[in-house]
């Protein structure tokens, strides 16, 4: 693959077509785990790992489904792959790296129902990427997700110390912040090809 | 208020966590069934059985549903109106639709050399580049029938579906967009020159032949891909592939052919695949293959390759078909010189091709895409030539 | 029939509204609410999956061993999602172009697995169907309200509401409004209770 097309994927996955702010996926974890920077980092890393691995695995499986002409099983197969992967990871981490498990463990469990994972597995198929592009896309989609989570958590930690009108406290203000962030990210569209 | 909201979030979070933790625990337990008692084993067996049964029932349900709900493209009013624009029936849109001047072709009923579109796409298309349907448009005044192909290629976001009308010589006579969901489509909106550029094209098309610097290059690529597969399809469907060789009369094609062969006249065998558009035989027996190679987004190129007994004799680039744009310091325009290409490829066999460094052709570096595109094109040509020669000799 | 339970289940979609109260299923809510048609389409698709997966999970609740219940639920839900996808592709191709991308993601919509786990696996078929219908329609209504508000704002010339940013902000404002109204309602009830309590004394 040429450097140029890889760079295009990287930039669009992180900035111009950010999975949260432009494609509006992964909003539940955005609202749920962006109260503190620590948990944002933990969730982000766990998601990055799972997105990368599951995109690559789902890519391979889709080739098989396509070969057997049973692409209508895509949704079932993908979600099962993701669910098993998350649990496998959970077990492996718990056994071999308790420290990492303690920092990621709780977030891992929430990932199966995180739509960024299934979303990016589907996107890889829709976009017709090859294996390397799939890997790069998966990894940097995760990085883009992590970045937004960390940005949000920084702002929300500051907000804790300010006075917020009662009806806006909690989710509403978080959504409005996300909206403003999305507007800022909209500025990156100028870089698109 | 704050309390109630955050309380609810943690409740749903906790619930999800609990669900997942339980599952993990269960998965753990089910991992070591053999060490347990007999009842545990029975339990595990039951679990596996029930799960397998549910999976089987669900999958077969979907298989049946797929049979009945499989998308068949039918002619709707909007499509009919679009076709009426690019292949005029001489009547207004409503009349054309109601009087069936425009119809969809059921390929399985025969009449065309291609009878199964799915099989066709499996052989000649890719998962993102395929032919969707064939229509006929009959002119109410002259009785002339125009063929219209519906084909899709992948743009920046999703599939772009084009309707493409053809004249008797299998050249494009009109293009309309049936559907697209591109984010930068506004840059192409109203660009009639883009659609006019298609007129008269045949064989493989690249985005550079349509337009440059529109700001929507990926959309153009999708349209070029759709047109390429449609061009190949129309030739095959009309039965001109392989079994109906014709003399090449197109001056542009002839001038390209003369770059690699000294023959006076050429017979064209239309192949129509994405990798190989045509094969030609000169009146002196020269075999020339018009092949395309794809080296990612930046390495698409079409070459005329003259071959003899498994070896490349001469190569020429078909102008305007490459995507060798200089990107930063990576300049691949060196490949636009046919002498350079001949230095690299002349005399090479398939085995020798495999040894060529994609990133170091003609001393270039950083243009891996273009290099692998070129190598792929020559490889496609040699592979096709081998089977082509075997076929023609067998006859 | 237990009237109280019936009423509780039927009103679940309002009192436990998935979007405004439980804050579940946010992604399609924001992504697909640029206009009322898309919102209605995705809402009804979700409602369909919710009703049928609830019914089948409730029917099978004694058959499915506890250990494999989550994978089983996921398979059942994914099956209905795929059916909806096939149906849209076949009969509503133009809607499919608009919302098709979000259809497979219904599988990971927390509402569905949440209701399967919390309600359908513990209740009889009738209640499970009612719960699915109520929750599904509750979700659809929230989506349509959001879609309507955004559509009006876009028509009024605020182009930004077409984008994701507009979706976030509209939902944030609507949620604040919902909280505000809920606050007034609760306060009035509190006052009433106090008053009644006073009477009793």
Confidence of residue A148 (pLDDT cuts 50, 70, 90): very high
Q: What is the DSSP letter of B106?
A: -
Residue B32, pLDDT above cutoff 50: no
Q: Which of B20, B21, B188, B368 to mutate to test the interface with A (most CBs of A within 10 A)?
A: B20
Least confident interval from B149-163, B349-363, C37-51, C128-142: B349-363
Q: Tokens 């070969």 appear where?
A: A67
CA distance C78 to C70: 12
Average pLDDT, chain A: 84
Tokens at A168, concatenated: 């806006």
Q: Are B147 and B171 in contact (CB under 8 A)?
A: no
Q: How far is B154 from chain A (nearest CA, A)?
A: 7
pLDDT tens for chain C, 201 residues long, are: 577 778 777 777 777 777 777 777 777 788 878 888 889 999 999 999 999 999 999 999 888 888 788 889 989 999 999 999 999 888 887 788 788 888 988 888 888 888 888 888 888 899 999 999 999 999 999 899 999 998 898 888 887 787 888 889 999 998 888 888 878 877 887 777 766 654 443
Token duo for residue A99 = 């420290």
Query: Considering only CB atoms, which chain C residues are within 8 Å of B46?
Result: 65
pLDDT for C57 equals: 92
How many structural domains comprise chain C? 1
Residue range B116-135: mean pLDDT, rounded: 82
Residue B312's closest CA among B272, B260, B237? Answer: B260
Q: Which CA distances in Å does A118 have to A12, B336, C23?
A: 18, 43, 20
Q: Which residues of A touch C161 (CB under 8 A)?
A: none
The answer to whether C67 contacts B47, with C-beta atoms less than 8 Å apart, is: yes
Q: Over 50: is that where the pLDDT of B33 sits?
A: no
Give the largest CA-CA distance in chain A: 59
Residue A104 is predicted with a pLDDT of 67
Q: Does C110 touch chain A (CB under 8 A)?
A: yes
The stretch B255-272 carries a mean pLDDT of 82
The pLDDT assigned to A106 comes to 65
Contacts of B365 (CB under 8 A, 6+ apart): B359
**Of the candidates B334, B343, B296, the residue with the CA atom closest to the CA atom of residue B315:** B343
pLDDT at B39: 60
Whether pLDDT at A14 is above 70: yes
Cα gap C105→B65, rounded to integer Å: 20
Q: Which chain B residues are within 8 Å of C67, Cβ to Cβ?
A: 26, 29-30, 43-44, 47
How much is the CA Rg of chain A, to the nearest whole Å? 17
Residue pair C160/A159 in contact by the 8 Å Cβ criterion: no
Residue numbers of the domain that contains C35 = 3-200
Percentage helix, strand, coil, to 5, in chain B? 45, 20, 35
B304 strand-pairing partners: B290, B316
State how far the alpha carbon of B62 is from the alpha carbons of A72, A74, B51, C49, in Å: 8, 11, 16, 14
pLDDT of residue A61: 93
Evaluate if residue B229 carries a pLDDT over 70: yes
Span B334-349, mean pLDDT? 84
SS3 B359: coil
Other CB atoms within a 10 A radius of the CB of residue A145 amount to 29
**Token pair in block for residue C81:** 């999602």
Mean pLDDT along residues B207-214: 75
A175 to chain B, any CB pair closer than 8 A? The answer is no
Task: Answer whether 0.90 is exceeded by the pTM.
Answer: no
- Contact of C184 with chain B, judged by CB distance below 8 Å, is answered with no
Minimum mean pLDDT among A37-51, B24-38, B168-182: which range?
Answer: B24-38
Q: Within 13 Å of residue B158, how many CA atoms lie on the same side as its CB?
A: 14
The shortest C-alpha distance from B44 to chain C (Å) reads 9
Estimate the share of chain C in helix, then strand, then coil, as percent rounded to the nearest 5.
85, 0, 15
pLDDT at B11: 53
pLDDT score for A5: 77
Instruction: Specify the pLDDT at position C189.
Output: 75
Q: Is the pLDDT of residue B13 over 80?
A: no
Model pLDDT, residue B40:
67
C-beta atoms of C86 and B66 within 8 A: yes
Q: Which of B1, B30, B62 sits opposite C179 (nearest CB)?
A: B1
Q: What is the pLDDT of residues B38-64, one digit of tens each?
A: 566 677 888 888 888 988 999 999 888
Q: Which residues of A touch C70 (CB under 8 A)?
A: 83
Question: Sorting pLDDT into bands at 50, 70 and 90, what band is A16?
Answer: confident
- Number of CB atoms found within 10 A of residue B96's CB: 24
User: Which pLDDT tens digit goes with each residue over B64-88?
Assistant: 888 887 777 778 888 888 888 888 8
Judge: A24–C107 Cβ closer than 8 Å, yes or no: no
Q: Over 50: is that where the pLDDT of B151 sits?
A: yes
pLDDT of B245 higher than 50 = yes
* C169 contacts in chain A (CB < 8 Å): 175-176, 179-180
Identify which of B248-252, B297-301, C146-150 has the greatest average pLDDT.
C146-150
Q: Is a pLDDT exceeding 70 seen at residue B293?
A: yes
Rounded Cα distance between B390 and B242, Å, is 13
Report residue B3's pLDDT band, with 50, 70 and 90 as the boundaries.
Answer: very low
Q: Is the pLDDT of residue B197 over 60?
A: yes
pLDDT at position B393, please?
Answer: 55
CB contact under 8 A, C86 and A76: no
Tell me which residue of A10, A46, A6 sits closest to A26, measured CA to CA: A46
Task: Tell me, yes or no, if C26 comes closer than 8 A to chain B by beta carbon.
Answer: no
Give the pLDDT score at C18: 77
Hey, are the CB atoms on C79 and A76 less than 8 Å from each other?
yes
Higher pLDDT, A98 or B323: A98
In the numeric block, the tokens 């090449």 are attached to B248
Each residue's pLDDT tens digit, A43-91: 888 889 899 999 999 999 998 988 887 888 999 999 999 988 888 888 8
Give percent of chain A above pLDDT 90.
Answer: 22
């Amino acid at each position: 693959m040429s450097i140029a097309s890889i760079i295009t994927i990287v930039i669009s996955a992180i900035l111009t077509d950010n999975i949260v702010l432009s494609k509006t996926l992964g909003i539940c974890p955005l609202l749920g785990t962006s109260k503190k920077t620590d948990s944002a980092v933990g969730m982000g890393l766990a998601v990055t790992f799972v997105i990368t691995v599951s995109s690559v695995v789902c890519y391979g499986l889709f080739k098989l489904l396509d070969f057997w002409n049973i692409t209508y099983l895509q949704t079932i197969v993908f979600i099962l792959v993701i669910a098993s992967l998350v649990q496998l990871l959970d077990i492996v981490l718990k056994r071999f790296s308790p420290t990492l498990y303690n920092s990621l463990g709780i977030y891992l469990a929430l990932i199966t129902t995180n739509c960024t994972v299934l979303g990016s597995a589907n996107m890889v198929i829709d976009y017709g990427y090859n294996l390397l592009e799939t890997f790069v896309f998966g990894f940097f989609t995760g990085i883009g997700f992590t970045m937004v989570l960390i940005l949000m958590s920084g702002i929300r930690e500051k907000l804790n110390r300010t006075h917020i009108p009662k009806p806006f406290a909690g989710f509403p203000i978080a959504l409005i912040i996300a909206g403003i962030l999305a507007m800022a990210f909209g500025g990156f569209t100028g870089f698109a090809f | 208020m704050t309390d109630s909201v955050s309380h609810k979030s943690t409740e749903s979070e906790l619930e999800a966590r609990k669900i997942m933790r339980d599952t993990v625990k269960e998965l753990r337990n089910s991992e070591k069934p053999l060490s347990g008692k007999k009842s545990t084993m029975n339990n595990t067996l039951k679990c596996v059985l029930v799960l397998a049964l549910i999976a089987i029932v669900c999958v077969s349900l979907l298989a049946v549903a797929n049979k009945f709900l499989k998308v068949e493209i039918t002619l709707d009013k909007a499509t009919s109106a679009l076709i009426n624009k690019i292949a005029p029936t001489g009547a207004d849109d409503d009349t054309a639709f109601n009087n069936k001047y425009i119809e969809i072709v059921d390929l399985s009923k025969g009449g065309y050399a291609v009878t199964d579109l799915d099989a066709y796409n499996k052989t000649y298309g890719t998962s993102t580049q395929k032919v969707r349907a064939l229509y006929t448009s009959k002119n109410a005044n002259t009785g002339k029938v125009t063929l219209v192909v519906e084909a899709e290629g992948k743009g920046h976001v999703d599939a772009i579906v084009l309707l493409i009308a053809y004249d008797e010589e299998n050249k494009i006579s009109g293009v309309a967009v049936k559907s697209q969901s591109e984010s930068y489509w506004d840059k192409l909106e109203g660009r009639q020159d883009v659609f006019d550029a298609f007129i008269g094209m045949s064989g493989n098309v690249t985005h550079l032949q349509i337009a440059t610097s529109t700001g929507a290059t990926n959309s153009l690529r999708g349209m070029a891909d759709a047109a390429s597969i449609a061009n190949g399809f129309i030739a095959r469907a009309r039965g001109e592939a392989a079994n109906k060789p014709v003399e090449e009369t197109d001056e542009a094609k002839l001038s390209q052919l003369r770059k690699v062969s000294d023959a006076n006249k050429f017979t064209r065998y239309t192949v129509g695949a994405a990798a190989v558009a045509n094969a030609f035989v000169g009146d002196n027996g020269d075999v020339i293959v018009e092949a395309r190679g794809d080296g990612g987004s930046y390495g698409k190129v079409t070459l005329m390759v003259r071959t003899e007994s498994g070896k490349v004799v001469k190569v020429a680039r078909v102008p305007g078909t490459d995507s060798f744009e200089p990107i930063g310091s990576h300049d691949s325009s060196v490949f636009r010189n046919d002498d350079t290409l001949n230095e690299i490829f002349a005399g090479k066999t398939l085995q020798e091709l495999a040894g060529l460094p994609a990133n170091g052709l003609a001393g270039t570096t950083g243009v891996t895409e273009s290099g692998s595109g070129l190598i792929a094109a020559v490889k496609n040509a040699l592979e096709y030539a081998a089977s082509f020669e075997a076929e023609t000799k067998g006859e | 029939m237990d009237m109280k339970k019936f009423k509780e289940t039927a009103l679940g979609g309002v009192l436990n509204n998935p979007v405004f109260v439980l804050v579940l299923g946010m992604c399609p809510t924001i992504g697909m609410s640029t206009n009322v048609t898309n919102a209605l389409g995705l809402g009804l698709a979700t409602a369909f999956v919710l009703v049928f997966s609830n019914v089948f999970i409730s029917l099978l609740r004694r058959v499915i061993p506890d250990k494999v219940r989550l994978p089983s639920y996921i398979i059942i839900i994914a099956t209905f999602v795929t059916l909806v996808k096939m149906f849209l592709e076949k009969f509503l191709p133009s809607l499919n172009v608009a919302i098709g991308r979000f259809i497979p993601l219904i599988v990971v919509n927390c509402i569905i697995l949440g209701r399967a786990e919390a309600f359908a696996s513990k209740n009889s078929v009738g209640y499970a169907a009612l719960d699915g219908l109520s929750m599904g329609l509750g979700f659809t209504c929230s989506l349509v309200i959001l879609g309507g508000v955004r559509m009006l704002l876009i028509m009024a010339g605020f182009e930004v509401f077409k984008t994701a940013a507009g979706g976030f902000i509209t939902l944030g404002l609507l949620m604040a409004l919902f909280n505000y109204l809920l606050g007034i309602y609760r306060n009035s009830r509190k006052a009433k209770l106090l008053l009644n309590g006073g009477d009793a004394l």
